[in-house]
Amino acid sequence: MAREFSTIGVVGLGTMGAGIAEVLARTGLTVVAVEVDEAGIERGKGHITHSTARALAKGKLDEAAHAEVHSRISYTTELADLADADLVIEAIPESLADKAALFAELDKIVKPEAILASNTSSLSITEIGVHTGRPGKVVGLHFFNPAPVLKLTEIVRTVVTEPDVVADVVEFAKRLGKEPVVMGDRAGFIANALLFGYLNHAVSMYEQKYATREDLDAAMRFGCGYPMGPLALLDLIGLDTAYEILETMYAQSRNRLHAPSPILKQMITAGLLGRKTGRGFYTYDAPDSPTVVADAQTPAAAADGDVALREVRRVGVVGTGTMATGIVEVFARKGFDVILRARTADKAQAALGKVRKSLDRQVAKGRLAEDARDEILARVTPAVEFEELADCDLVIEAVAEDLAVKQAVFGALDEVVKPGAILATTTSSLPVIECAAATSRPADVVGLHFFNPAPIMKLVEIVETISTSADVVATAHALCQRVGKHPVHCGDRAGFIVNALLFPYLNDAVKMLEAHYADADDIDTAMKVGCGLPMGPFELLDVVGLDVSLAIQRTLYNEFREAGFAPAPLLEHLVTAGRLGRKTGKGFRDYS
């Protein structure tokens, strides 16, 4: 039977500590809130008053409940007033020395059975707990900001934390209306350990001028459904806070991917801390404002607007898979004449049937009129011979991810397609320059990485090689906008933007599971509830396919030779065993 917690101490009344105190009081618990001085108490009271006033105005608290919340919280500057607390939650600034000293003092004051919890987001609970005479009763209880709103709590056990203490704190978190996840004591816990490696990688890509801040952020929003792009999120978190978390993670992991990118330190030194100072990766109209304003880095409304665009009226698509037929639909719906080339007449008709089936679904849902569907289909001409693509202004290759096959297609296109036509590949990971090298016109070759399903997904990654001409890039940009897509630009490097950021994060999650640091359900919950991601990493891996994920991760590792990109052995073992995800019914989870 879980122990009862009735009186809770909260030490530290900054934004997080005040939020925790409010959550506790709103649950009906008695709270003793401690600050170093009266000024700190007044600031803490101000946070709680402001937050509960908003809840009252929105109807989330009535007048009686509002009054009760405040009546349940008492304030003090004396730690001795925590003597009768059943649980004390520390929420002071992220200093290991200060936290350790505080826990040593609390250990002398609270009753022997009381539990001591730290709200640290990255520091070692073990190193904090050893400064007490009760390390078995010390846990991490990491709330997310703002505590009254966000549901996730990370409960961190050390190698000596008593199992019943973990179980009791889990039940306590559920009583607060939170979703608790349990993990071992490692820098960053779950959410930050996975999130900040990804954020730091995005900063490195920006620092290397591989992509603009806008394109990095748009790629992850439109390509992965993330609520915010990585650089905008860093501005919200605060670059100084991010730097400290990464430093702590690197000190423990010695993983070079956790070493803060140099530009972070430079920006912090210059006072560019993000939203709180009004400038970070973006410029805001005032400190603490979410409104971004134009600055020297803001790109022009259209890429390369001073470059003459090539005329594109007829589009060829080579391939019969889902990606190929989706691209055919995208262009035909926007009024382009499309030639759909397949290896045989039967395959061409089958591919055309896929396009019809997709359009029929739109008709059935009332999103498309029957006559409009017929007009779209009339624009699509099935073909078998490469020569039938001769008059196309743009030909998009969408065959399997096999470099030899793609090179053969580009070689064939080079022989028949008219001069000045643009040749594009939809590859998601192979070098675009390798396709271009199979032709006599590398300046006309560009990557156009659509995302599946192409008719629905908004993002297209435009990949230019060292040979791609400026007018080809500009034409590709304009075409993407014309067919209703959001184009982002990047260099010809493994993974482009989305896969380069996404798959190392997924690989890190597998390594976390492999180390028995947390289970798959808790890791998925942490990233969905704590970070607002549409899917947890293991859900996503099973959808993508473990074999596909492994192939992409190997490509990234082989290109960058970065130890942190090496595929997790567990991922390799599952693929070898035939557990490939949903398509085989078994992956990280079993599916009926």
Residues near 587 by Cβ (< 8 Å), separated by ≥ 6? Answer: 538, 541, 542, 546, 574, 579, 580, 581
Element (H, E) at 372: helix 370-378
Annotated active-site residue in 22, 35, 154, 397: 154
Q: Using alpha carbons, select from 551, 553, 541, 546 the residue that is nearest to residue 575.
A: 546
- Catalytic one among 47, 131, 142, 489? 142
Please list the alpha-helical segments (H only) found in 141-260: 163-175, 191-207, 213-224, 230-237, 239-253
The residue from 124, 192, 358, 549 that is catalytic is 192
* Sign of torsion over alpha carbons 124, 127, 130, 132: negative
Identified catalytic residue from 51, 121, 428, 507: 121
| Cβ atoms 410, 439 nearer than 8 A | yes
Q: What's the one-letter identity of residue 23?
A: V
Q: Which two tokens stand for residue 376?
A: 């779209």
- What's 79-131 look like in SS3? HHHHCCCCEEEECCCCCHHHHHHHHHHHHHHCCCCCEEEECCCCCCHHHHHCC
R_g over Cα of the chain:
28
Which run of H or of E encompasses 66? helix 63-71
Catalytic status, residue 440: no
Q: Does the annotation count 121 as an active-site position?
A: yes
Q: Which residues contact 286 (CB under 8 A, 6 or more apart)?
A: 278
Q: Active site includes 51? A: no
Residue 494: what residue type?
Answer: A
For the record, the structure tokens of 546 come out as 């473990």
Provide the 8-state DSSP code for 257: G
**Catalytic annotation present for 558:** no
Supply the DSSP symbol for 310: P
115-118: strand order across its sheet = 73-76, 30-34, 7-11, 87-90, 115-118, 138-143, 152-157, 179-184
The set of catalytic residues is 121, 142, 154, 192
